[in-house]
Amino acid sequence: MEIIISYLITNYNLMKQHWYNHGALKDKGKVGTDKPIGKDVDLGGLLVKFDWGKKRVISTKKIACPSGFDFKNHLIYVNSMRENTIYVLDFDFNAYRRIDNQYFNDLHSLNSTNRGTIVTSTGLDTILEVDDAGKILFDWWAIDNGFDRDQYGNQRIINRSIDHTNIDYPTLLQTTHINSAIYMDNNEEDILASLFHQGKILKIDAKTKKACVLLDDLTNPHSIYSLNNGEYIISDTQGHRIILFDIHGQIIKELKGDFNWIQDSIRLSNGNFLVADSNNHKILEIDSSGKIMDSHNYSKNWKIYQIKEVKT
């Protein structure tokens, strides 16, 4: 079985010097940084095609902080969180084209849609769906929908007339740190989105843009995916659990373990789950009971973002 892995950072020791400077909010349980990292800091980044069974690297591609990615039309669409662009590659990692937009900032998740791709522009607390030319097909701004205060309680105002791609907006100055968004089904009438700071999953009506809370009481969640059977999966990152839930927000299954920052988790074609156990620097394969079936340790100077099975 082949998987693709985005290692967001390959110079994690440098990142820690910035990320763990929380200031006065650390004691209040606020996670993030209050200082911009700066575009001149080289954090590395690597996209890797990996043979999971043989634990062998097949090929690599250097990308500045690759984060969310997805497959569409035999191509790979991958965010560069540092360059605030979407790269489109073939499966040999050859560059095909790139997609840009002035509202791309601190890009996190990326998922393909019927019309294009839907991304979380996390630095702006915004969901954007764009076509292959970067034209906005849908947008949802947290500051317009009841989430207009940053982690210091200050009102956030965003100038939408400027290009935001070269501006740093630290995590604690964001209102939600929205980091994952998908359409719920092929009809693309509703969107699920994870709010890192609030620990909530929102259901957003794509037509009216009205939102309601579908799932609550999470701790810094990431990575929502549809399991194509009316169920969804979310990584409850600091809740140390993987949650399967239904369209009504009812929890179907919880998988807990000795995890340390679950950055991503997916269900494999064999029925097991692959878990990006980020701060333990491991990728784990677990069965439906949570038993570890296989594992891979990667460099302690690397920070994983996403894993995805290449289905043939």
Write down all domains in the chain, each with its CATH number in brackets: 2-309 (2.120.10.30)
CB environment 109-128: b (16+ within 10 A), e (fewer): bbbbbeebbbbbbbbbbbbb
Rounded CA-CA distance 250/240 in Å is 19
Q: Which of 94, 71, 129 is nearest to 308 (CA)?
A: 71
CB 162 within 8 Å of CB 98: no
Helices (H), the chain: 12-19
pLDDT at site 15: 74
Residue 23 has pLDDT above 70, yes or no: no
What pLDDT is attached to residue 29? 76
* b/e per residue 30-56 (b: at least 16 CB within 10 A): bbbbbbebeeeeebbbbbbbbebeeee
Confidence of residue 34 (pLDDT cuts 50, 70, 90): confident
Residue range 29-45: average pLDDT? Answer: 83
Q: Report the share of the chain in percent with pLDDT over 70.
A: 96
pLDDT tens readout for residues 208-224: 999 999 999 999 999 99
Strands 126-130 and 136-141 turn out to be antiparallel
pLDDT in tens, 93-122: 999 999 999 999 999 999 999 999 999 999
Average pLDDT over residues 281-304: 97
List pLDDT tens digits, range 224-275. Answer: 999 988 999 999 999 999 999 999 999 999 999 999 999 999 999 999 999 9
